[in-house]
Amino acid sequence: MPILVLLAWSVATHFGWLDVRLWSSPELVLQGGWSALRDGSLAAALKASLARNLIGFAIGASAGLSLGLVLALLPLVDTLLEPTLNAARQVALFAWVPFLSLWLGNGEEGRIAFIALAAFFPVLLNTHLGARQVDAKHIEVARILGLKPYRLILKVILPSALPSLMTGLRLGLIYAWLATIGAEYLFSSTTGIGALMMDARELFRMDQVILGMAVVGAVGFSLNILLSRLGHLPLWRGLEEVP
């Protein structure tokens, strides 16, 4: 069926049923993609976006991970903080943009802070959830064995919470990618795929817009696959055996 859609699109633009200027055509998109690949503009934009995405994700995810653990382990902190965090989560993500751009400037800091914020909440939520679901029996055994707190976290809680944690990281990465595109739209004058698409829109270059969409989708898809594969790596298997 995707092939049929592509064919229909190609045929319709070929015979002029759809205006090529508005709808572009598969050939044009491919051509544009090829030339963007050759002159390196696509690679440069992709690199800028990915770097931004990963830095923001790393910051947001580590913050979310640590706070999630703290909340799960210290019920008092949880009772105090959770409602506030939950309320903050309800603010539609992009409503933060105007603030961040005012407080941190329109440059890279603002963008990265925004991406980090996007990754922060899903990671926090799922770490919290996972660490709370740890079997109380395992913790009891660890206590009887006299494990030190940091060893308890490392050897019991993190391995047990891993599935939920990986879900959180994957979600965080999805949101971070979304935020990267959003940040490139909303923060003025920048590089990256999002900026490329917005520029293309202003120039009425539908082929480039569609190319951008395809790249954004493909990158999101690959990041997603990458992290879900990572979750199944044998590397983690050993950790799942509780000492």
Partner 1 sequence: MTDLSHWAHDTRPRFRMRPPSFSLPVPAGLPERLRPLLAWVVPALLLVAWWSVTQVHLVPEQILPAPAIVVRAFSALIASGDLQSNLLISLNRVGYGFGAGALAGLGFGAAMGFSDGFARLVRPTFLIIAQVPVLAWLPFLMLLLGIGEALKIVLVAKSVFVPVTLSTTAGIRSVPARWLELARVLRFSRWKTLCRVILPAALPQLFGGLRYGLTHAWMALVVVELLASYEGIGYLMIYSRQLFQLDVMVAIMLVIGAVGLLFDRVLALGEAWLARRYGGAA
Region 148-207 residues binding partner 1, contact defined as CB under 8 A: 149, 152, 167-168, 170-171, 174, 177-178, 181-182, 185-186, 194, 197-198, 200-201, 204, 206
Q: Which of 15, 95, 189, 241 binds partner 1 (CB under 8 A)?
A: 95
Q: How much of the chain is helix, strand and coil, in % rounded to 5?
A: 85, 0, 15
Tokens of 129: 């959830």
Stretch in the footprint of partner 1 (CB under 8 A) among 53-61, 94-102, 107-115, 233-241? 94-102
Computed from CA positions of residues 196, 202, 205, 207, in that sequence, does the dihedral angle turn out positive or negative? positive
* Stretch touching partner 1 by CB under 8 A, among 58-66, 77-85, 107-115, 235-243: 77-85
**Residue whose structure tokens are 């506030």:** 84
Tell whether residue 99 is a contact of partner 1 (CB under 8 A).
yes
Indicate whether 233 belongs to the interface with partner 1 (CB under 8 A).
Answer: no
The distance from CA 224 to its chain's CA centroid, rounded to whole angstroms, is: 8
Task: Return the structure tokens found at 40.
Answer: 């390196």
* Side chain identity, residue 62: S
* Per-residue contact string for residues 108-127; x = within reach of partner 1 by CB under 8 A: --------------x--xx-
When asked if residue 47 is in the footprint of partner 1 (CB under 8 A), the reply is: no
26: DSSP letter: H
